[in-house]
């Protein structure tokens, strides 16, 4: 079997992991969730969850991956606890299912780039959405998006994922920054910022029991946690870099991109007086396209915006495909190219029902977001904190200058605070689903 690849450079790993983190979650879900859940008041809660739960949870996956140097399923066996492999496997299943949905939405984005450039959705944002989001066209764009994802993953860790994300991440940052500056010049800027960030503590406190579980789900999702993805990516790491420093950089960049997205989306919507819909991903496409269709320069700027969205979706999709691919490549004697193609085809098929009827997206949200995700992170925490804690602590201490105090604090955080927090979240989330 060929030797296992590693990232060429530390920065290469950071770009790849940022590529995974920065996705539809940042540019779609985050701004709309913030706007409709109490603005700056929600933001405070959300940021606290990202840094207090997301950051240490990311370190758990990094430690499992780098220590074992194995895919997320074999990792547990490699560390001497083979019967915990089911935890990694659940994450891999989450990746596979997520990619099926993600790729369908990636296909919509392709149609929206074309629709911006040609003006096809101008003045008919609603009918355009219906024609591109469900039906033969949606199946076709889903296929194209998946094919590009497969092509990148087939080239491998260094010449595929690392090389691609090294171009995509700077492009996302520059374009988004440019769009935010343009947003600032629009008539809707002040009203947009107001909607996005004006703190509504009353709303927050009245709805805290439903907001916290969804903020936890959003925080894990946006950081690509609970899908075993960060285990897979960290398994290609060399030993001497600081995991806390890398994780910190990834969390901060992911947060900044999300914040920046709101500074683009809301000025655009308010510039022409469109109400930001809170009805999920479809509403967001319709209202945003409606706005671009009426703004001067909307063809170019709309195309730029949807191009950013495409890059973000693609750099996340490759991590979702890499995760199951790494398992098969590590364990069976097939070439990476064959595996990526085969898995891509199977996951494409899994997404076809969604490309024909978007109703399945609500199901995904309920099951994966509110349940599977926190549950898998909980399993990882129990494993790292109470089962493999010796090697986990030792691994976290390697390459960092933070010292033993940080490692001890992290370990007890993982042992107690994260499980209790997620336990409460799961109870609230399930309660919410049942009512
Ligand atoms: N983090 C991505 C986003 O914010 C979603 C994702 C989750 C990607 C898990 C890969 C793995 O959109
Ligand atoms: Na994200």
Q: What is the pLDDT of residue 95?
A: 98
Q: For ligand 1, is residue 212 a contact (CB within 6 Å)?
A: no
Q: For ligand 1, is residue 220 a contact (CB within 6 Å)?
A: no
143-148 long-range contacts, CB within 8 A, separation 24+: 143/107, 143/348, 144/107, 144/110, 145/103, 145/106, 145/107, 145/109, 145/110, 145/313, 145/314, 145/317, 146/103, 146/106, 146/317, 146/344, 146/347, 146/348, 146/351, 147/344, 148/314
Q: For ligand 1, is residue 318 a contact (CB within 6 Å)?
A: no
Q: How far apart are CA 274 and CA 240, in angstroms?
A: 51
Q: For ligand 1, is residue 25 a contact (CB within 6 Å)?
A: yes
Mutating to test ligand 1, I would choose from 16, 17, 18, 21 the residue with most ligand atoms within 8 A of its C-beta, which is 21
In degrees, rounded to 5, the angle at the alpha carbon of residue 274 between the alpha carbons of residues 285 and 32 is 55
Comparing 152 with 276, which gets the higher pLDDT? Answer: 152
Query: 43-62: b or e for each residue (b if 16 or more CB lie within 10 Å)?
Result: bebbeebbeebbbbbbbbbb
Q: Torsions phi, psi of 276, nearest 5? A: -65, 115
Contact 133, 108 (CB under 8 A): yes
Q: What is the pLDDT of residue 2?
A: 60
- Write the DSSP symbol of residue 328: H
Q: How far apart are CA 5 and CA 13, in angstroms?
A: 12
Quote ipTM for the complex. 0.98
Contact 274, 285 (CB under 8 A): no
Residue 2 is assigned to a structural domain of this protein: no
Q: For ligand 1, is residue 219 a contact (CB within 6 Å)?
A: no
28 has pLDDT over 90: no
The Å distance, Cα 49 to ligand 2 centre, comes to: 14
Q: What is the pLDDT of residue 55?
A: 98
Ion ligand 2 residue ranges (Cβ < 5 Å): 21, 25-26, 222, 254
Q: What is the CATH number of the domain that holds 401?
A: 1.10.4160
List CB contacts of 19: < 8 A, sequence separation 6 or more. Answer: 161, 164, 165, 168, 169, 315, 316, 318, 319
Q: How far apart are CA 394 and CA 388, in angstroms?
A: 10
Q: For ligand 1, is residue 224 a contact (CB within 6 Å)?
A: yes
Integer CA distances (angstroms), 284 to 24, 280, 346, in order: 11, 6, 29
Q: What is the pLDDT of residue 238?
A: 81
The Å distance, Cα 186 to ligand 1 centre, comes to: 30
Q: What is the pLDDT of residue 191?
A: 94
Give the number of other Cβ atoms within 10 Å of residue 394's Cβ.
12
Q: What is the pLDDT of residue 158?
A: 95
Kindly report the protein residue whose alpha carbon is nearest to atom 6 of ligand 1: 224
Q: 129 is in which domain, residue-wise?
A: 10-434
**Packing angle, helices 373-382 and 418-434, rounded to 10:** 160
Residue 5 is assigned to a structural domain of this protein: no
Instruction: Kindly indicate the confidence band of residue 278, based on its pLDDT and cuts at 50, 70 and 90.
Output: low
Residue 4 is assigned to a structural domain of this protein: no
Instruction: Kindly indicate the confidence band of residue 368, based on its pLDDT and cuts at 50, 70 and 90.
Output: confident
Please give the distance of CA 119 from its chain centroid, rounded to a whole number. Answer: 29
Contact 241, 66 (CB under 8 A): no
Q: What is the pTM of this model?
A: 0.96
What's the average model confidence in pLDDT over 8-19?
96
Residue 430 is assigned to a structural domain of this protein: yes
277 has pLDDT over 70: no
What's the structural domain count of the chain? 1
Sign (positive or negative) of CA dihedral 297, 300, 306, 307 = negative
Give the number of other Cβ atoms within 10 Å of residue 20's Cβ.
27
Q: For ligand 1, is residue 54 a contact (CB within 6 Å)?
A: no
Residue 88 is assigned to a structural domain of this protein: yes
List CB contacts of 182: < 8 A, sequence separation 6 or more. Answer: 264, 301
pLDDT tens column, 42-66? 999 999 999 999 999 999 999 999 9
User: What three-state secondary structure class fits 293?
Assistant: coil
List CB contacts of 394: < 8 A, sequence separation 6 or more. Answer: none
Contact 370, 433 (CB under 8 A): yes
Sign (positive or negative) of CA dihedral 418, 13, 342, 2 = negative
Question: What integer best gives the mean pLDDT of the chain?
Answer: 94
Q: What's the chain's Rg over C-alpha atoms?
A: 21
Residue 3 is assigned to a structural domain of this protein: no
Residue 26 is assigned to a structural domain of this protein: yes
Please give the distance of CA 17 from its chain centroid, rounded to a whole number. Answer: 10
Residue 15 is assigned to a structural domain of this protein: yes
What's the average model confidence in pLDDT over 105-115?
97
Q: Which ligand is nearest to the CA of 96?
A: 1
Instruction: Kindly indicate the confidence band of residue 213, based on its pLDDT and cuts at 50, 70 and 90.
Output: confident
């Amino acid at each position: 079997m060929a030797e296992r690849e590693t990232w060429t450079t530390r920065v290469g790993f950071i770009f790849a992991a940022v590529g995974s983190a920065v996705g539809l979650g940042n540019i779609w879900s985050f701004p709309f969730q913030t706007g409709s859940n109490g603005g700056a008041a929600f933001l405070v809660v959300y940021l606290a969850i990202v840094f207090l739960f997301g950051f240490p949870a990311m370190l758990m996956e990094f430690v499992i991956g780098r220590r074992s140097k194995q895919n997320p399923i074999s990792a547990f066996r490699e560390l001497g606890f083979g019967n915990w492999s089911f935890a990694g496997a659940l994450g891999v299943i989450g990746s596979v299912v997520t990619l099926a949905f993600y790729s369908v939405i990636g296909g919509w984005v392709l149609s929206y780039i074309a629709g911006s450039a040609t003006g096809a959705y101008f003045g008919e944002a609603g009918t355009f959405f219906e024609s591109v989001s469900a039906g033969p066209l949606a199946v076709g764009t889903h296929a194209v998006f998946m094919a590009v994802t497969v092509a990148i993953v087939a080239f491998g860790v260094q010449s595929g994922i690392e090389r691609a994300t090294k171009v995509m991440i700077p492009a996302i940052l520059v374009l988004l920054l440019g769009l935010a500056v343009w947003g600032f010049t629009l008539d809707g800027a002040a009203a947009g910022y107001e909607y996005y960030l004006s703190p509504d503590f009353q709303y927050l406190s009245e709805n805290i029991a439903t907001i916290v579980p969804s903020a936890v789900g959003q925080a894990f999702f946006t950081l690509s946690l609970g899908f075993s993805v960060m285990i897979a990516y960290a398994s290609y790491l060399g030993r001497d870099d600081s995991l806390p420093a890398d994780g910190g950089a990834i969390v901060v960049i992911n947060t900044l991109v999300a914040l920046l997205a709101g500074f683009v989306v809301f000025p655009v919507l308010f510039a022409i007086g469109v109400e930001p819909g809170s009805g999920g991903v479809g509403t967001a496409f319709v209202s945003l396209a409606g706005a671009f269709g009426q703004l001067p320069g909307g063809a170019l700027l709309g195309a730029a915006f949807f191009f950013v969205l495409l890059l973000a979706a693609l750099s996340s999709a490759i991590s979702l495909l890499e995760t199951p691919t790494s398992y098969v490549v590590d364990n069976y004697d097939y070439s990476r190219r064959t595996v990526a193609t085969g898995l891509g085809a199977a996951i494409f098929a899994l997404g076809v029902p969604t490309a024909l009827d978007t109703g399945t997206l609500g199901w995904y949200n309920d099951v994966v977001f509110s349940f599977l995700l926190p549950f898998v992170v909980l399993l990882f925490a129990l494993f790292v904190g109470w089962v493999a804690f010796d090697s986990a602590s030792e691994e976290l201490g390697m390459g960092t200058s933070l010292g033993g105090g940080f490692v001890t604090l992290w370990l007890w955080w993982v042992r107690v605070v994260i499980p209790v927090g997620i336990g409460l979240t799961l109870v609230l989330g399930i309660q919410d689903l049942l009512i």
